[in-house]
Amino acid sequence: MDAGAPAIRLAGFQPAPLNRLPGEAHSPGQAFFLRTEDGLRLRLGLWQPEGEATGTVLLFPGRTEYLEKYAPVAARLAAEGLAVLAIDWRGQGMSDRLLPDPRAGHIRDFADYQTDVVEIVLAADALALPRPWHLLAHSMGGCIGLGALLNGLPVRTAAFSAPMWGLHHPRVPDAVITGLTGTAHRLGRAELTAIGTGGGGTYLLDAPFRGNALTGDPLQWARLVAQAGSWPHLTLGGATYAWIAAARAECRRLAALPSPDLPALIGLGGAEAVISRAAVQNRAAVWPGARLLDLPGARHELMFESAPVAEQFLAAALELFRA
């Protein structure tokens, strides 16, 4: 933790590792394991400010991600007086994987992620993390987060970075994806990694910096590559046919529901090529309390883009949280 930050005793939780690259100056935080109602072990991370916190941010990462990636973001929020509680979703990071093949990104139903959300809320209560609570969610975490808000997640505001409210697949017709996932299910192959999603590799280690879909900042890219190379057991490969089918079903379900009644910030990059820009714009248009922050030239990782872009998004999120 940061020097001077008060330690929270993780009574009732099993301590967990939290890695740190050599030379990183930001707070390592604390990490712990807990068990879900359906018996899975999840890893959560906690960062605290110096002195008394003025609120708590529940941080929902995206697909393939892990706590260590967000340590600089958590440190930035802690420097502003906020506690941060983040999670490794089931099936990724240091939480229990869901298939014998640990590289496959899998889920049976996106409703299963809401079980993890319940555990985050229970942990935040058990740790007596100060209110008000706020949501900060990226990509797949934005899909889970919107579902959680509609289920009554007890937060005052929500900030979304490139939320996955629709998938981006411009070269493959929707009917073809439906057919492929349906065929895989009928043939008992829904747990296989889908063609075109990266197989068992790691995007950060396999893709060149030039033309990557995540960030235009070479220093941020280098940090993410260093993490993936240093801790390969935390990384994840392509998505299964079941994950794709479940994700598309959840996006359709959410699109048919009204927007939550709370203030929100929705960040969207002008060069977004991972999630559907149209789906995000459509939701923002029917969310009276939401502000759409369109960032020209930014790619998918708004919090890990060039410094001006990342700072613009985080400053807007902090303004929302303070208000």
Work out the pLDDT band at 48, boundaries 50, 70, 90. Answer: very high
Work out the pLDDT band at 25, boundaries 50, 70, 90. Answer: confident
Q: Is 88 left (phi over 0), alpha (psi -120 to 50) or beta?
A: beta
Q: How many domains does the chain have?
A: 1
Query: To which residue do tokens 């994950």 refer?
Result: 243
Work out the pLDDT band at 1, boundaries 50, 70, 90. Answer: very low
pLDDT at 170: 65
Asked whether residue 299 is assigned to any structural domain, the reply reads yes
**Residue 258 and residue 287: Cα distance in Å, rounded?**
8
Q: Is 265 helix (H, G, I), strand (E, B) or coil?
A: strand
Asked whether residue 160 is assigned to any structural domain, the reply reads yes
Asked whether residue 178 is assigned to any structural domain, the reply reads no
List, for residues 206-215, the tens digit of each pLDDT value.
999 999 999 9
Stretch among 57-61, 193-197, 291-295 having the lowest mean pLDDT: 193-197
Asked whether residue 48 is assigned to any structural domain, the reply reads yes
Closest CA to 63 of 246, 194, 310, 238: 238
Asked whether residue 73 is assigned to any structural domain, the reply reads yes
Asked whether residue 163 is assigned to any structural domain, the reply reads yes
pLDDT at 196: 82
Asked whether residue 189 is assigned to any structural domain, the reply reads no
The length of the chain in residues reads 323
67, 88 Cβ separation under 8 angstroms:
yes
Q: What is the mean pLDDT of residues 208-237?
A: 97
CA atoms within 13 A on the CB side of 128: 6
- How far from chain centre, in Å, is Cα 118? 16
Quote the pTM value. Answer: 0.95
Asked whether residue 63 is assigned to any structural domain, the reply reads yes
- Show the domain range for 21: 14-171+247-322
**What CATH number does the domain containing 127 carry?**
3.40.50.1820
288, 260 Cβ separation under 8 angstroms:
no
